[in-house]
Each structure stands twice: as C-alpha cells, then as structure tokens.
Amino acid sequence: MRLGQYRALLAPASVFTVSLLFFGLFVLLLVVGVLTTGSLPPLGLVLAGVVVFNLLAWLVGPKLNELFMRFVYDIDWVSFDEFERRVGESGARVESICQEQDLDTPKIGIIDDGTPMAMTFGSDHWNARVVYSRGLYELLDPVEFDAVLAHELGHIRNRDFILMTILNTLLQAIFIVYLYCRVLARRADDRAQSLFAAAAVGAYVFYILSKYIQLYVSRTREYGADSFAAEQTSATALSTALVKISYGIAREAETEDEQLSAETEDDSVLESTERRKRYKENIVGPMNIVEIDSTEDKTVGQLMERGETDRARHAMLYDAHSPWARLTELASTHPLTGNRIQALEARHGETIFELERFASRHGDGIETMKRTFWADLRVLAAKYVGAIVGLATTAWLVATGGVAAGPLLLGGGLTVLLYALGSFVEFRRRFPSDDPDRAEVSGLYTYFGASPVRGIPVELDGEFLGRHPAGNRFTPHLTVRDETGFVPTLFASRLGALGRLWKGWRNTGPYVGEDTRVTGWYYRRGSNNVVRQRTVDTSDGGWRSYPRFWFAVKLLLLAVVGAAALAAGLVV
C-alpha cells in the first residue's frame, strides 16, 4: 500500500512495471519486424505474445523487483521469525491473520530509513512480499502499525496482483490493436484507409479510457484492502495511521531522557520505565528504532494526541472540496486519503474526525480553494490564449499582405512573445518572490490557497528524517520533520536529472538526522504536501536548489526567439 505518496514513488519496484518493460520490449521487436520485413504478423499471434509476456512478468517479476530493490534501496530482507523478533506482537498478529485467511506468511523487507512507507508485491500469496520502512514502525502506535500491515495483507488476500495483471494485459492488447489499425490505415486503399483510420482513432480513445478505468479499479481495490484491515484490526487505527503517514501530521515521541526527567520516582513508574528500556534493548535495538510509548487499549483521542486532529481535518477539507483534488484523484492509483477515511467511517463506524460538521465551520477556506482552482486554470490558459491571438494575427497579416516572409515573421514572432508572456504569468504564480512565512509542518494544511500550480513561500525548521522516497540511494530529496509532522522537500539541479542523481548518490545520505532550515515553495498535490527547496542550511553546511532555473531558461529562449523573429519581420 502506498500511504500517501510513498508507494507511488516506489512503483518501479512493482510487478506491473516489469510487465510494462516486457511489453515495451515486445512492441519494439514488433516495430523492428515491420520495418525489416514490410509485413505485419497475424494479430492473434501478437496478442498471444502479449499474454505470454505478461504471464512471464507475473511469475518472475517479484524476484526481479526484489533484486531491483536490493540495488536501489537500503533494504534488508529478513525471515518471518526475525520479523517477529523485531516487532513483537505485531508479527504474531500478521501470522494469525495469515492463518485465518489461509495465506502463506509473506517475505518481509525492511527499508532502513526514517521516512514512513509500506507496500506489497508478488504473484499471489505463495510468493508475496511486504515491505515497510523503519520510519513506519517508529512513527505509528502498535495498533496503527498492525492496521497498516493488515491493509497489505488485504491486497494479498483479495488477489489484487492477479486482477491488476489481467487488466494490464488487456490494456496492452488494446494498444496493440490501435497500432495495427494505424499501420493498416497507411497501407490500405482510399476507402479502407478511412475505415482503418477511424478504427485507429476509436481504439486509441478506448485505450485512454481504459487507462482511467484501470486506475478506477485500482482505487476500488484500495478501499477493499482498507475494509479488510478495519475488520481485522481497527477502522480508527487505520484512519489515524493514514493521517500520520499520508498527511505527515504526527508529533514527535518524547525521548527516553525526557520521559525520565518528567516522571516521578514512584516505584511503579520506575518499573514501567525499566520494562521499556529492556524492550528497546532486546526488540527495538537491533533495528535502531526509537520506541513509541503506546498500548493497544489507547482511546481514539490518545491515538491522535500527536496527530493534531484539527489539522488533520484541515487536510481532509482539501480532499473533500478542492476541484484540484478531484482531478488529481482521477489519475491516481489510490483514493484521496480524506475519501478513504470517510469510507471507513461509513462502513465501520464513526471516528474522531466528523468532517461534515468541521466543514460547515470553514466555508471561507473551502471558497478559497475553489477560487484558487479557477485562478490556476486562467493562469495555465494564459500562454495558450496568447498563442491563439498570435496565430490569429498571423492569419490576418497573411490575408492582407500575402504569403511572404515579412508577415510570417511578424506573426510568428508575436505568437512566440505572447506565449512567453503567458508563461511568465505562470512562472510568477508558481514561484512568487514574497518573503517566506515561518511555518510548522502541520500548519501547511491551513494554507487553503496552495495548489499544484500556486506556490506559497515558506520557511521550515526541523531535522532531515530520511530520504524521499524512503531508502532510495539515488534520490536527492529529503523529508523534513519538526515537532508537528513531516513533509517531503524536493531538490532541483541546474544540471537536471543528472545533477539530481549525482547529489542523491554522493551528497545526500550524510545529512539525514541533521537539524536544518529549509526555505522554498509549498504546494498541495492531492492528499500530500510538498515543498520545493530554495535554500537549505544545516550545521554541516548547506546548498541551493534551482526549481525556477529551467523554467526561466525556457522563458528567456522564447523571448529571444520571439524578439528576433519580430525584428526580422520589421526589417523585411
């Protein structure tokens, strides 16, 4: 399961990506065959090949993914006995669920990173893998940790691997039909050409629609796994786990020294503290995990004591009422977190959030989100409107002055400049130059005007919790945590992807655990916050990030090209 964005970012380690790689290879071989022989192989044979490729990917993909994760992620694959030794009663709970559901116990992978995440992949229950990060175990209370693992087992029990592989195969088959129709349209005579062309357009439209249907099915499977976890553990525990991990709203646990200094010298208290210390040494120590002092009989309010329930409600308001949230969900494999929590409330009883009553008290915030959406659309449309005006002017110049170099250069230059002007408006909205607001992580959700397009300048103080995504050895992105929660911060290099890869590989790991101050721009994307770094300061140095660089380069090139064309048109 991707809690929040983490599983989506680990998608390369899923069996479905391996399937796509097999399919891509198959399409390349098909194209090469057509180019070299000039003939198309029988469609039935090609579709049979797609099925065989996906069957192979389904069978061997989990092992390939495991090898891939060993290379890319700082992961330790452990036996189930070792897993039980490390997590205590949670391991016994997983084994009990597997026995009740007639499932084999999964292979366990533990990513050594403080950023929380969990996922599962495999062919079926007989070779399933469940992966989670050290940060997941550190952050959650035991009952919440159990609920997350139960969600992963829900995917295994519901045979989601098989269903999604079948859907993926069908999607690829539709794309093959589209390719055939397009090739045949070029080779056929006039009448047949139009028929094949229409069939190609229809097949491609159906392919696009099928991709969204596949995403919809994936979201319904997430609801099914949530329901399974709620039945096996607790709907409330799963809801609070989603809030902590997806929204990043979770206060830091007290350190052992703080607990000792705050506690009295009562014998029973000292005995309890000693038990926690022995547990840390015998169970948690081998994983270098900070113990969270919690028990399974905690009330709902206690479970969210560190999660700040009102801030969680602010986060869920965006999921429930922002038009951007609804659009982003359409292209996502996972439902919005707020929708998942509301579904758990509807199916398995009330939780502490009561979103509808909270929403009635924050109508102004909801209106701000809607106004922001429409303003974003106008900003995004500005460059296209400018280009259309430029093209219309070009057509008028050609109509009045004839097809000549002068009118074409004048119109073309004007079109490019107007497009650049519209892009500049977008640049200003994405990267405003205002002074940054000092903010807490959980307070970011009260910025109702933030969106995927509109950035809010912010400054955060905290520590680097881990990499983003968790444990990836090559990512330069880091998760910042303060006393109220955590948020991913994204690095941008002037060298593009190569610069990010180099920094992630050579110059990111040593900063994990360091205190930091980060300035940048805050965006709201679906259920998740993200901050694009501008400056980063730590006790061991810092760096600058350049999220505006390539956007500014594009603007400069457009302005130069447009001005040159306009000047040439005036001269001619």
Question: Which residues are 320's β-sheet partners?
Answer: none
CB contact burial 429-454 (16+ within 10 A = b; e otherwise): bbbeeeebeebbbbbbbbbbebbbbb
The DSSP bridge pattern shows strands 129-133 and 107-111 to be parallel
What is the three-class DSSP state of 112? coil
Q: Which of 457, 453, 430 is nearest to 377 (CA)?
A: 453
How far, in Å, CA of 507 to CA of 553, rounded?
Answer: 26
Give the DSSP H/E element, type plus range, for residue 384. Answer: helix 363-401
Q: Look up residue 567 and give its two tokens.
A: 């000047």
How far, in Å, CA of 1 to CA of 7, rounded?
Answer: 6
How far, in Å, CA of 313 to CA of 380, rounded?
Answer: 29
- What Rg, from alpha-carbon coordinates, does the chain have? 27
Reply yes or no on whether 152 is catalytic.
yes
Q: Look up residue 566 and give its two tokens.
A: 């306009």
Which sign does the torsion angle of CA 96, 97, 101, 104 carry?
negative
Active-site entry in 138, 144, 152, 463: 152
Alpha helices of 280-330 — where are they, by DSSP H?
A: 300-303, 309-321, 323-330
Q: Which of 67, 514, 78 is nearest to 287 (CA)?
A: 78
Under DSSP, the state recorded for 127 is G
How far, in Å, CA of 470 to CA of 111, rounded?
Answer: 7
Q: Report the helix count and the strand count for the chain, using DSSP H and E.
A: 21, 11
Answer for the pair 522, 529: CB distance below 8 angstroms, yes or no: yes
Which sign does the torsion angle of CA 346, 349, 353, 356 carry?
positive
The DSSP bridge pattern shows strands 486-490 and 541-544 to be unpaired
Which sign does the torsion angle of CA 273, 278, 284, 286 carry?
positive
Supply φ then ψ for residue 328, to 5 degrees: -65, -30
Q: Which residues, at least 6 apart from 458, have a Cβ–Cβ distance to it below 8 Å?
A: 436, 437, 438, 439, 444, 519, 520, 521, 522, 531
Supply φ then ψ for residue 505, to 5 degrees: -75, -40
Under DSSP, the state recorded for 58 is H
Answer for the pair 502, 478: CB distance below 8 angstroms, yes or no: no
Which residues have a catalytic role annotated? 152
